[in-house]
């Protein structure tokens, strides 16, 4: 098999544009598998195929790898995770095993949860009541999930929450799921694995993903506009076309529903309904550089307020011991603010903190930044939570379409959705399904020491040099 270099990619793309017969049964494959998207799922799939010495190409629409897991070092001069930050379930998360092999430092999270009641810190009795109500709310959802009907999670909340209800709705719904709790399947909520323990990467979670992608570099800034999936898969981009035996689709459910990628033939109604049942919520972040450590907290302390409505947020103070603090927004309120623009988000975050800590806090504000994931055309939201009655949609998307199209991403994970680790697992699973279809029987190991595996004489990997 010939090596798929940048030159040969452009050449075959030009030939594909010129020849109307491309994609016909007699056409040769440019590569065995095309991976669409270079987030966690795409990177995991690429590494899995790479160690099996299969030919593949990974195409990424944006100019960055990682999807919603991106580390920035330019805004404030320190590593800053703009999206996903916590590495959940460190005992089983494959990224915890891979991190040290790439030279990255992983640390246990040591934080406290605090509560504000107006402009004061909660009394011990109030904090105890808050924690108790949180346990009761989660227990009620778990109990409701044992019923015969998949209701919305908000309906499962107990009456005794009383004036704690808005706080629980925010913590369990908007903050925890990116969607208002009334939009969340009680079955889906109860299935997700516990995330009580987590670690973080000192250099940034997004930086870790980028390092893991370096041995299987994608073709960046190459959005896919059309996918034909008859007897073979023909993927069209603005740089031309590629022909493959199968494709792994890792874009978010909102992107796949947006119409930005045209499918020929159309995706079956069953899959379209499943995608619509797993729409992304909204989870946004305002980062504030604050002089003088005005909160008086330990690094990474998590602070909620006793809320009286949905106009609330969560504060992560002094992240990693820096002068930066994050105000996290979620659900329909976060989406509304995002649509209003950066300044509206920043203004709310500052005024919300003033309501908790007093007007002097305004004087401490220096540089600011607001994410706009809901308006990012390559993401279009946070993560996928099943709508009430639609939890089975995740399993539907685990099924390959005619052995040609395979879905992957955090949405296609029943117990670890909404996490980078869940997306990674899904990408590996999709790649393994293709390997089984190709008759690859052995179980290869991950690349070690950041080095790609040695290619066999009959199969080569994509180019390792970015352009």
Indicate if 294 and 153 belong to the same structural domain.
Answer: yes
Indicate if 336 and 434 belong to the same structural domain.
Answer: no
- Give the chain's domain count: 2
Q: Are 427 and 187 in contact (CB under 8 A)?
A: no
Indicate if 287 and 369 belong to the same structural domain.
Answer: yes
If you ran DSSP here, which 8-state letter would residue 437 be given? H
- Classify residue 99: in a domain, yes or no: no
Indicate if 26 and 173 belong to the same structural domain.
Answer: no
Give the span between the Cα atoms of 113 and 98, in whole angstroms. 29
Residues 6+ apart with CB under 8 A from 378: 61, 62, 67, 223, 251, 255
Give the span between the Cα atoms of 386 and 38, in whole angstroms. 23
Q: Tell me the pLDDT of the chain (467 aa) as tens digits.
A: 333 444 444 444 433 333 333 333 445 889 999 999 999 999 999 999 999 999 999 999 999 999 999 999 999 999 999 999 999 888 888 999 898 888 898 888 777 899 999 999 999 999 999 999 999 999 999 999 999 999 999 999 999 999 999 999 999 999 999 999 999 999 999 998 887 788 889 999 999 999 999 999 999 999 999 999 988 999 999 999 999 999 999 999 999 999 999 999 999 999 999 999 999 999 999 999 999 889 988 889 999 999 999 999 999 999 988 999 999 999 999 999 999 999 999 999 999 999 999 999 999 999 999 999 999 999 999 999 999 999 999 999 999 999 999 999 999 999 999 999 999 999 999 999 999 999 984 544 555 544 444 433 333 333 333 22
- Classify residue 390: in a domain, yes or no: yes
Cβ count within 10 A of residue 328? 18
- Classify residue 251: in a domain, yes or no: yes
Cβ count within 10 A of residue 104? 18
If you ran DSSP here, which 8-state letter would residue 171 be given? I
Q: Are 409 and 426 in contact (CB under 8 A)?
A: yes
Residues 6+ apart with CB under 8 A from 443: none
Enclosing domain of residue 118: 113-196+281-375
- Classify residue 312: in a domain, yes or no: yes
Indicate if 287 and 341 belong to the same structural domain.
Answer: yes
CATH number of the domain enclosing 170: 3.90.660.10
Indicate if 365 and 287 belong to the same structural domain.
Answer: yes
Indicate if 344 and 234 belong to the same structural domain.
Answer: no
Give the pair of three-digit tokens for residue 212.
């893991």
Residues 6+ apart with CB under 8 A from 334: 174, 178, 282, 283, 284, 374
For tokens 């460190």, the residue is 90
If you ran DSSP here, which 8-state letter would residue 310 be given? S
Indicate if 39 and 186 belong to the same structural domain.
Answer: no
Which uninterrupted H or E stretch holds 7? helix 6-18
- Classify residue 201: in a domain, yes or no: no
Give the span between the Cα atoms of 52 and 332, in whole angstroms. 43
For tokens 């993401």, the residue is 379
- Classify residue 73: in a domain, yes or no: no
Indicate if 40 and 117 belong to the same structural domain.
Answer: no
- Classify residue 445: in a domain, yes or no: no
Indicate if 48 and 13 belong to the same structural domain.
Answer: yes
Residue 360 CA from chain centroid, whole number = 36
Indicate if 370 and 413 belong to the same structural domain.
Answer: no
The pTM of the full predicted model, rounded to 2 decimals, is 0.87
- Classify residue 327: in a domain, yes or no: yes
Q: Are 317 and 301 in contact (CB under 8 A)?
A: yes
Indicate if 60 and 24 belong to the same structural domain.
Answer: yes
Domain boundary among 375, 410, 429: 375
């Amino acid at each position: 098999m010939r090596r798929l270099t940048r030159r040969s990619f452009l050449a075959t793309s030009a030939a594909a544009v010129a020849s109307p017969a491309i994609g016909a049964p007699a056409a040769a494959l440019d590569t065995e598998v095309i991976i669409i998207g270079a987030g966690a799922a795409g990177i995991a799939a690429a590494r899995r195929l790479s160690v099996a010495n299969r030919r593949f190409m990974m195409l990424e629409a944006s100019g960055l790898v990682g999807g919603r897991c991106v580390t920035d070092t330019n805004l404030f001069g320190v590593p800053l995770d703009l999206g996903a930050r916590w590495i959940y379930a460190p005992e089983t998360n494959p990224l915890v095993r891979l991190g040290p092999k790439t030279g990255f430092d992983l640390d246990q999270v040591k934080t406290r949860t605090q509560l504000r009641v107006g402009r004061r810190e909660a009394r011990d009795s109030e904090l105890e009541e808050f924690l108790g109500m949180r346990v009761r709310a989660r227990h009620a959802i778990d109990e409701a999930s044992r019923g015969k009907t998949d209701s919305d999670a908000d309906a499962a909340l107990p009456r005794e929450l009383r004036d704690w209800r808005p706080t629980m709705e925010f913590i369990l719904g908007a903050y925890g799921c990116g969607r208002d709790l009334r939009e969340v399947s009680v079955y889906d909520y109860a299935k997700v694995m516990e995330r009580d323990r987590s670690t973080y990467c000192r250099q940034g979670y997004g930086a870790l993903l980028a390092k893991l992608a370096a041995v299987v570099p994608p073709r960046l800034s190459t959005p896919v506009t059309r996918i034909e999936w008859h007897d073979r898969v023909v993927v069209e981009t603005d740089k031309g076309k590629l022909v493959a035996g199968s494709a792994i689709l890792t874009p978010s459910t909102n992107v796949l529903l947006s119409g930005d990628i045209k499918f020929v033939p159309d995706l079956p109604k069953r899959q379209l309904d499943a995608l619509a049942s797993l729409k992304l919520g909204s989870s946004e972040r305002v980062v504030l550089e604050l002089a003088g450590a005005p909160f008086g907290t330990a690094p990474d302390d998590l602070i909620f307020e006793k809320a009286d409505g949905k106009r609330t947020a969560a504060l992560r103070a002094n992240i990693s011991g820096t002068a930066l603090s994050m105000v996290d927004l979620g659900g329909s309120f976060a989406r509304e603010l995002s649509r209003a623009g950066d300044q509206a988000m920043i203004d709310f975050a500052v005024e919300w903190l003033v309501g908790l800590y007093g007007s002097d806090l305004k004087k401490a504000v220096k540089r600011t930044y607001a994410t706009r994931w809901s308006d990012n055309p390559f993401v279009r939201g946070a993560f996928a939570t099943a709508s009430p009655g639609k939890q089975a949609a995740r399993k539907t998307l685990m099924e390959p379409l005619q052995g040609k199209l395979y879905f992957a991403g955090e949405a296609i994970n029943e117990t670890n959705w909404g996490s980078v680790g869940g997306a990674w697992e899904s990408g590996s699973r999709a790649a393994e399904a293709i390997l089984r279809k190709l008759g690859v029987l052995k179980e290869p190991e991950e690349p070690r020491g950041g080095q790609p595996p040695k290619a066999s004489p009959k199969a080569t990997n994509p180019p390792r040099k970015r352009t």
